[in-house]
Amino acid sequence: MSTDNVMLNYVNGAWRQSRAAEYLDVVNPATAELMGKVPLSPAAEVNEAAQAAAAAFDSWRRTPATERIQYLFKLKNLLEDNFEELARTITLECGKTIGESRGEMRRAIENVETACGIPMMMQGDFSEDIARGIDELMIRQPVGVAAAICPFNFPGMIVFWFMPYALACGNTYIVKPSEKVPLTMQKIFKLLAEAGFPKGVVNLVNGGKEAVDALLDHPAVRAISFVGSTPVARYIYGRGAANGKRVQAQGGAKNPIVVLPDADMEMTTRITADSAFGCAGQRCLAASVAVTVGEARRTFTEAIAEAAVSRITGYGLDENVQMGALINWQSRDRVAKLIQQGADEGAKVLVDGRSPTIANYENGAFIRPTILQDVNPAGEIARTEIFGPVLSLIHVNTIDEAIAFVNGGQYGNMACLFTGSGAAARKFRYEAQAGNIGINIGVAAPMAFFPFSGWKESFFGALHGQGRHAVEFFTQTKVVVERWPREWSRAF
C-alpha cells in the first residue's frame, strides 16, 4: 500500500472521494510504513450521508424484519470468507497480534449472528381486555438514522456492537471510524456493499472532530453510539443529549484485578498477563492494577514478573509474537512518561519495558511489558488510564480493603477476582462497582447476547451495546390502546 491509497467515503450506495482540505497519514505502527491517507471530511459530507440515510429510512423500515436479516446472513458469510484478510488489515494498521485480530473479528461476527434473531428480539407485547373490550399493545419501531463513532483499538469489532442491531431493527446507519485506523472499515464497507443493502442504508464518513460534531448536531441523526476515551465520551453524551438524541457513550477504564491467597497462582498469573499485556494493554478491559491480598503478594509478584519478561514482543503478523506495537509513537512516549511518573510517585519499576530494541522493527512504536511494584494507592498512577502494557501492583491485607480500592476509582468498566472461595466470589460480585465482573477470568468481555456494561465514568447513558440493550436502544416503543365496539362493525 502507499500514499495512493486514499480512504473513500461510502454514501448513498456509492464510493466517494472526500472534498477534505486535510488528510492524515495512516501508518503501520510496527514498521513505520505509510499505508494510506485518511480525509478529515467536512461537515457537508456528514450532511450528505445523513440525508441519504434519512431518505432510505422509510423503505428500509417497511422491509419486514425477516427480509432485513437476509442481508445480515449474507454479511456474516462475506465476513467469514474474508476473515483472514480483515484480521491481517487490523494488525497492519493497529499493531496487535494476528491472533488478537482474529479474536476481534470473531467477536464482530458473533454480533451479526445475534442480530439475526431480531424478528423475535424486537417483538412487542399485547394485553387483551385491559378494560372491558379494550386491548393494549406495545410495538417497537426503529428510531431513524443512527451513527457510530469508533475508537482506534478495535478497528473491526466495535461498530458491530451497534450496527447489526440498528440495521436489523429497521434503522439506517452512518459509521465514523477512528481516523487512526480507517483501513479495516474500508474493507468492511466493501462487504456491506456486496451484501446488497439498499442505497443509503449504510454509510461511511471518515474524519475527526468536525465530522463528529456534524453527526452530533444533525437533526436527522436520532441515535449516537460512541466508544472512546472518557473526556470525549462525556462531551458526546452532553452535546448529543442537548440536541435531543439518544446517546450511549462508552468511555475509558482502569481495571483492577484482585488476587486472594487461595487463588490458583499458575492460572491467575497466566490469565492476568494475557489481560494486562494482550493488545499491548490497549483494551478497555485490560487489567491495569493487580491488588494482592495477604500472602498472595510474594508468589504472584514473582510469577507475573516472569510472565512479563518472557512475553515475546514484536511484529503482530509473526505468528509466534505474543504482544505487538502500540498504536503510534505519541502513545509510546505517553506510556513511557506515565511509567516514569509511577516511579516518581514511589513505585519500583520491577520490569522495565521502555526503549526496547525489537530486531528488524527498530522504528516500531514498541514498549515491552512493564510492571510497577508497590504503586502508591493514593497516587495518580493508581487511578490513571495508561492504555499500554503496564501492570501496577498494590498490596492490601484483606478483601474488604481490596474492594474499597476497586470502588474508590472513577471508572467502572471491569473488576476481576481470583480465588478458590465461592463466598469471596459472591461477596466480590455483589459489592464491586463495575459493570463487567470476572471471577477467575481476566478479560470479562460480554458475549454478543449480553450488554457491554460499563459503569461510572466508563459509561454515559442507560442502554449499552450488544444484545437486548442494543435492540432497546435502536427502537422506540409505541403503546396503542384500542377499542372496537361491536356496533361499529358490519355484522358478518
Q: Does 227 bind ligand NAD (CB under 6 A)?
A: yes
Per-residue DSSP letter, 197 = P
* Smallest gap from residue 175 Cβ to ligand NAD (A): 10
Q: Does 202 bind ligand NAD (CB under 6 A)?
A: no
CA-nearest of 170, 174, 179 to 192 is 174
Contacting range for ligand NAD; rule: CB under 6 A; set: 138-146, 229-237, 255-263, 351-359:
229-237
The conformational region for residue 36 under phi > 0 = left, psi -120 to 50 = alpha, else beta, is left
CA-based R_g, the chain, Å: 24
Q: Does the annotation count 169 as an active-site position?
A: no
Nearer CB in complex with ligand NAD: 152/277? 152
CA–CA separation, 231 vs 457, rounded Å?
Answer: 9
Beta-bridged to residue 135, according to DSSP, are: 482
Binding test (CB under 6 A) with ligand NAD, winner from 57, 387, 418, 473 = 387
* Smallest gap from residue 217 Cβ to ligand NAD (A): 11
CA–CA separation, 470 vs 227, rounded Å?
Answer: 14
Binding test (CB under 6 A) with ligand NAD, winner from 7, 54, 145, 150 = 150
Residue 200: its H or E element:
none
Nearer CB in complex with ligand NAD: 170/409? 409
* Smallest gap from residue 387 Cβ to ligand NAD (A): 5
Q: Does 287 bind ligand NAD (CB under 6 A)?
A: no
Cβ-closest position to ligand NAD: 228
Q: Does 284 bind ligand NAD (CB under 6 A)?
A: yes
The 169-188 site mask, x for binding ligand NAD (CB under 6 A), equals -------x-xx---------
CA–CA separation, 266 vs 292, rounded Å?
Answer: 15
For the chain, the distance separating the N- and C-terminal CA atoms, rounded to the nearest angstrom, is 72
> Which is catalytic among the residues 116, 169, 284, 416?
284
Question: CB of 248 within 8 A of CB of 216?
Answer: no
Contacting range for ligand NAD; rule: CB under 6 A; set: 251-259, 302-310, 393-401, 471-479:
251-259
CA–CA separation, 455 vs 132, rounded Å?
Answer: 44
Classify residue 279 by burial, with Cβ atoms within 10 Å: 0-12, 13-18, 19+.
buried
The 61-100 site mask, x for binding ligand NAD (CB under 6 A), equals ----------------------------------------
Nearer CB in complex with ligand NAD: 176/469? 176
Q: Does 45 bind ligand NAD (CB under 6 A)?
A: no
Which whole-number Å values give the CA distances from 24 to 35, 40, 158, 205, 219, in the listed order?
Answer: 11, 7, 22, 14, 28
Positions that interact with ligand NAD (CB under 6 A):
149-153, 176, 178-179, 208-209, 212, 227-229, 232, 235, 250-253, 284, 385, 387, 413, 452, 454, 458
- Catalytic site positions: 284
